[in-house]
Structure 1
Amino acid sequence: MSVPVVVLATVDPVVRDLSQFSLVSDLPETGVLRHDLDPAAGTLRRVVSDGGGGLDGDGVIDDHTMPLAHTCLGCAIREDLLPSLAGMAASGRWQRVLVVLPVAAELVPVVSALDDPQTAADLDVTLLASVAAGDADQVRQDLMGDDLLADRGLALALDDRRSVGEALAAQVEYADLVLASGTDPVGLTLLDHLRGVRSTRSDLFTTRAGQVFLPRHDARMAAARVDPRLVVPADAADTSGAEANGVWTIDLHTRRPLHPERFRDQMEALVGHETRSRGRFQLATRPRTVGVWDGVGGQLSIGDAGGWEHCSPSTRMVFTGHGDGGADTREQLRRAFAVMALDDREMSRGPAYWRSVDDGLDPWLGDRDLVDDRS
């Protein structure tokens, strides 16, 4: 019988320790596989322990530090994590395993690997759930603040320039289960507005470990949560813009392609607020390209997510925000979004005209000529 596995991610070292202890303390025969990265030293540390062991040295079975063989940290973690997990499953020592990722690490690389049926069969494990743990009392500052991971000593590489909010959002939006410590209603509401479709939120300290080690992971649903073609608001979000504890979400969409110049001009207006925004966009100059929109606070990342496949081309962006002037901010976002779409006259120019226009976005979206034959 395969060994059940839960994967845990956080952006806070203290929350990680508390979560690890809470999730295994009342479940005997639970193993913990924990990794830490030291980018300055170029090392990866692996600790295998029984139950809550590894926090103070008790219960440690294996503690090994090795040089990083990869500049891709996700690859380095998986290349040690997967064989280590196989060894734990084969040992027969543990009935279940909690995989604890390095602070600020994304869930997607490890969970995607365990989602592969052949990989899971080879390791003799079954992924039950991906879990993100956060402190509700800190969520607003973490999500909307300007701190980079490097500012807190949490960067996973010397060139890791992600913000704390970017790392937190990536974990919460992908996880099957969000565990929250703290009681701040703003933080709890933000978590509910960000977490993925068909995910759940529970209190870290009142949730028993047995409730976490239940089958709740669906590979297709997990993939859909981070696919920009399928972006939707969270189940808990009221997209009318109504506020709950000062938190709001609006869902903006259009089937009209965007004007490239106005798209560039409106970027600042769309990210210059206390908001988390994510979604997709279609430019008139790149009709076959799914543009990725990923904004946290004052930071924005755009990229190329490939072709539209079986989805209808469109632009859809979901904004979640908090702060003074909420109604004004929502109206500003709606106006800026509306300005970007082609008007009737521009639509009538046809695809041939827009193919001749240089949109100036090659540095972010790649050479347009290389992707023009996408279906």
Structure 2
Amino acid sequence: MIESDRRTPVVVIAGSSGHATAGVDRAAEALRATPGTVTIRHDLSGLSEGIVHRTVRIGEHETSAVLELAHGCVSCTLRMDLLPLLCTLAARDSVYRIVLALDPAFEAEAVCQAIGNVVVSGVVGRVDGPAARDVRIEAVLTCLESEDWLADATGDETLAERGLAAADDDRTVAQLAVGQVDFADAVVALGHQGDPLERMRLGAVLARLVPDAPVTWVADHDSLGSDEIEALIAQIPADSRRGRVFDAHAPLLRGQPPLGSDHGVTLMEFAASRPFHPVRLHEALDVLFDGVVTARGRMWLATQPDEVVWLESAGGGLRVGGAGPWLAAMSQAELESADPTRRAMAALRWDDRFGDRDISLVILVHDADPAEIRQALHWALVEDGELRLMERAPELVAQWEDPFGEWHTDPCEAGEPTGLPVEGSAGQSKSPRGEGK
């Protein structure tokens, strides 16, 4: 971090449920031992009734408030309370650091995106603008329960079914569990007293999901102390993401994850220079629901030749959505404004017929046969005759049945950070890594 950066550092701590939630509170309490550290926690358990409980602690002093949110949504909590509060606290000379102990319904990625992009207005003495002008993300920590996390990350239970969200929130526990770890700069694994082989398997998953994130293993949340948490933060690499949100065209393999198999855990890549047939792909995607922790990547659909399609799965849930046009489908003006790194990478694999269109997926397997997954996805690709038809008569290909033809739109306003839904099968929803992120 640049030493001249005078913005107030923010540590974001996430954990999905159970002992992990207790770990969040304990880690925040441990960090509060450093003078000038403020901790903020929003209890969203009453969100469906439009009520949010907010607690702010500094030293031994604590203030609590009950907030009424007319819209009863997570993004409204961010926009109306948390972001202005961050700006207000950052303006105080007595505040050295801010710690956000997130409710399970909050997603760290959405919080960091909001800090960086949502305009905060109405704060006395402050010019309107994003909270990131006043604060910076020092670290994102994720607490997980080591004996249950892998089961949560590969299941299909919804947050509502688990009692962690309102009935109309169709995000899954797997989405939250995987997303929290994937976005973390460091991980606290709680309760490792069970089967040592299962711990090693979890370690193999973490090494591939977040290869650069330091991990500390502790027996329970009571074992977390100030020195241990501060030491964990100090181990975070200088180039860690620290709240950065990557778009659909960023590298799919971050850091240097092991590419070999370990305790049945494998990180496999699937790449192709021809598109998927949409109907066959819809059938083939079932292979991603069993024995797979997560899959993500860019897809080329025969029926949507101009659109980059983003796929992201977590356990038994999947979302597919648009992520903007391929470079080959852009106008000259759009090309000139495209990310230079993306253009440089596309130039290395540019095809005279199809430009930068291709398929690139990364799949983290823990209890499935990578060969079977590869075979199913290869079967879903267009055949030679279908590829020639795409070149000769694209208007006929556009009439093929396409289960991915209409993207789901979210109820909140465009651009607002939300916890996006994950369908329980091969459904569609807006990707969290689409355009604008």
Using the size of structure 1 for normalisation, the TM-score is 0.82
Contact 2:295 2:364 in 1 (8 A): yes
**Can you give the 5+ residue segments of structure 1 that lack an aligned partner in the other structure?**
52-58, 367-373
Q: 1:137 offset after TM fit, Å?
A: 2.1
Which residue identity is paired with 1:283? Answer: L
Which residue identity is paired with 1:194? Answer: L
Whether 1:357 aligns to 2:378 is: no
Task: Flag the 1:60–1:245 CA change in 2: closer, same or farther, 3 A.
Answer: farther
Q: 1:223 offset after TM fit, Å?
A: 2.3
Higher relative contact order (CA 8 A, sep 6+): 2
Aligned match for 1:317, one of 351, 361, 366:
361
Which residue identity is paired with 1:6? Answer: V
Aligned match for 1:189, one of 201, 204, 208:
204
3-state secondary structure, aligned to 2:104: coil
3-state secondary structure, aligned to 1:169: helix
Task: Flag the 1:126–1:298 CA change in 2: closer, same or farther, 3 A.
Answer: closer
Identity of aligned residues (%): 28
Which residue identity is paired with 2:178? Answer: A
5 Å-filtered alignment, 1:39-188, equals 39-50=47-58, 59-116=60-117, 118-120=129-131, 122=133, 124-155=134-165, 157-183=166-192, 184-188=199-203
Q: Which residue matches 2:26?
A: 21
Q: Which residue matches 1:4?
A: 9
Q: 1:187 offset after TM fit, Å?
A: 2.0
Whether 1:233 aligns to 2:248 is: no
Looking at structure 2, the residues matched to 219 and 115 of structure 1 have their Cα atoms a distance apart, in angstroms, of 13
Looking at structure 2, the residues matched to 264 and 147 of structure 1 have their Cα atoms a distance apart, in angstroms, of 21
- Which whole-Å deviations, capped at 9, do the CAs of 1:244-303 have from their partners, x for residues lacking one? 123222111112111122112212233344432222211011012121212222322222
Q: 1:342 offset after TM fit, Å?
A: 1.8
Contact 1:6 1:99 in 2 (8 A): yes
Q: Which residue matches 1:223?
A: 245
Looking at structure 2, the residues matched to 267 and 96 of structure 1 have their Cα atoms a distance apart, in angstroms, of 44
Contact 2:8 2:96 in 1 (8 A): yes
**Can you give the 5+ residue segments of structure 2 that lack an aligned partner in the other structure?**
1-5, 120-128, 193-198, 219-223, 328-342, 347-355, 410-434
Task: Flag the 1:218–1:115 CA change in 2: closer, same or farther, 3 A.
Answer: farther
3-state secondary structure, aligned to 1:348: helix
Whether 1:262 aligns to 2:274 is: no
Q: Which residue matches 1:201?
A: 215
5 Å-filtered alignment, 1:298-309, equals 298-309=316-327
Over the residues paired in the alignment, what is the CA RMSD in angstroms?
A: 2.9
Moved over 6 A (4+): 217-221
Contact 1:43 1:66 in 2 (8 A): yes
Deviates more, 1:248-257 or 1:144-153: 144-153
Contact 1:8 1:99 in 2 (8 A): yes
Q: 1:17 offset after TM fit, Å?
A: 3.1
Deviates more, 1:229-238 or 1:89-98: 229-238
Task: Flag the 1:231–1:151 CA change in 2: closer, same or farther, 3 A.
Answer: farther
- Which whole-Å deviations, capped at 9, do the CAs of 1:330-373 have from their partners, x for residues lacking one? 1110100111112222211113442343424334478xxxxxxx
Contact 1:178 1:199 in 2 (8 A): yes
Which residue identity is paired with 1:201? Answer: V
Q: Which residue matches 1:54?
A: none
Q: 1:217 offset after TM fit, Å?
A: 6.9
Q: 1:231 offset after TM fit, Å?
A: 4.9
Q: Which residue matches 1:55?
A: none
Contact 1:233 1:251 in 2 (8 A): no
Using the size of structure 2 for normalisation, the TM-score is 0.71
- Which whole-Å deviations, capped at 9, do the CAs of 1:221-260 have from their partners, x for residues lacking one? 8322xx3333523545433xx4312322211111211112
Provide the aligned length of Structure 1 versus Structure 2.
349
Looking at structure 2, the residues matched to 20 and 102 of structure 1 have their Cα atoms a distance apart, in angstroms, of 10
- Which whole-Å deviations, capped at 9, do the CAs of 1:302-341 have from their partners, x for residues lacking one? 2222223545322122221223xx4xx2111010011111
Q: Which residue matches 1:56?
A: none
Task: Flag the 1:146–1:29 CA change in 2: closer, same or farther, 3 A.
Answer: same
Looking at structure 1, the residues matched to 77 and 161 of structure 2 have their Cα atoms a distance apart, in angstroms, of 23
